[in-house]
Structure 1
Amino acid sequence: MTLFSENLERFRVHGVEGEIDDAIVSNIESFIPSRNEYVQLLIALAQYKPVPEFAERIHRFIESLIPYMDRPEHITSYNRWEFDNYKFIVHEIFLYTLAVFLKFERFELAAPLLLQQYFVGGRSEYSRDTMIGFQNIRQYMESLEYRNQRLETRRLSLRADLLKERCHGTGLDFRFLMQADFVAFMRAEISANDDYSRWWPETLLYLGHYGSSFEIFARAKSKIYFDRVKTLLGIGSPSDLSELLESYKQDCSNLPKWEFESFCPSALLGYESLATLP
């Protein structure tokens, strides 16, 4: 995985002639074979009981990708959108990693991705904390907003479109990506201090009229199963969610929204049924 991280340098966008959003999208497309190779490796590892140290290795791997989303020291002249491909790639890798672990119920591997902070060296020179939460892995991509306007596509989210279109051939159904996105959203909401520590769940735009709970929360009707799942959210019991869910009920403007599209966290959690059975 160290080699995978180092090889990411090959996908750097710099000195683009023409429309930079075209270059960003083309670059992201060229990453698909590498992404698929990573996902297949992850699925194979998750299907067998991994050694305890595997959780830390994956966490450090994700950590090693984060610096790609910012300007490296050796580049002094640049367009601020030139790192947008990495913003997409790193975010996508994080989502797939979480999605695979949740699908195969490797909660002991998934939880550290959400609960442990990431060390990003070199940030101190900008007076920024060198330890950051997973929320920083999803960063705004201005180039895609520009592309949406330039091509007059009128899409609610080109980023969500790309995530869904690219899911084909991964061996993972898109609903698992949405489940991972929702878990990340809820974990961030539980610990959020401000808008900067929240998580924007890109893929949930495609929920549509899907109003039932995601699989891991449907299974968490069992108290035994809930006791495994609760580590993902950093809670002790379902009642720990009551205040947050009530705040959504009182003011739904706090929820992510795409024009008239949004979602109901309590329904996706199956909140009323959590831990109600042995």
Structure 2
Amino acid sequence: MLKQRAEVSQYIDFEHVMQADFFLFIYSFLHSTDDYFDNWFPVTTLYATDRGAPFEVFARSQSSSYFKKMKVALGIEDKAPLVELCDKFSRRESHTPPGILGALNLPALPQSKQLQRNLEEL
């Protein structure tokens, strides 16, 4: 339903909704408390599993000048917390609840792969 509504809007592109949803997910895990349900759950990411390319915000983060802006938006000082989070996802130590997103494989998403590659290059 969310995807259908975004597709009929002349102001909102569903691609941007998915990108914002995934960005909020990353942000929430970077700043999460011990309460598992305080995290943002990216429900639109289910539609991103068929994408072959990463979201623009993660593709651009390869540039150190763009990453400087991105880290401000994420509320982090450097890439270390993001590297740690990507490692946790790769080891499946941080994950979304199975009842909400089913078997979503976050490390396999183009967004996650691109982000990890970019962090290695920074």
TM-score (norm 2): 0.78
Query: Which stretches in structure 2 are left out of the alignment for 5+ residues?
Result: none
Aligned to 2:41: 200
Tell me the distance in 1 between the aligned counterparts of 2:66 and 2:94: 32
- Answer 1 or 2: higher relative contact order, Cα 8 Å, separation at least 6: 2
Larger radius of gyration: 1
Tell me the distance in 2 between the aligned counterparts of 1:240 and 1:272: 15
Aligned to 1:273: 118
Q: Is 203-212 or 257-266 further displaced after alignment? A: 257-266
Aligned to 2:59: 218
Are 1:175 and 2:15 an aligned pair? yes
Tell me the distance in 2 between the aligned counterparts of 1:173 and 1:225: 22
Are 1:227 and 2:72 an aligned pair? no
Matched residue count? 116
Percent sequence identity over aligned pairs? 32
2:27 aligns with one of 170, 181, 187? 187
Change (3 A) 1:181 1:265: farther
Tell me the distance in 2 between the aligned counterparts of 1:243 and 1:201: 20
2:3 aligns with one of 164, 179, 186? 164
TM-score (norm 1): 0.37
Query: Which stretches in structure 1 are left out of the alignment for 5+ residues?
Result: 1-161
- What amino acid is the match of 2:2? L
SS of residue in 2 equivalent to 1:240 = helix
1:236 Cα deviation after fit:
2.1
1:268 Cα deviation after fit:
1.0
1:247 Cα deviation after fit:
1.6
Change (3 A) 1:275 1:248: closer
Residues 83 and 119, structure 2, Cα contact 8 Å, conserved in 1: no
Residues 255 and 262, structure 1, Cα contact 8 Å, conserved in 2: no
Q: Is 266-275 or 187-196 further displaced after alignment? A: 266-275
Give runs of aligned pairs for residues 9-88 of structure 1, distance below 5 A: none
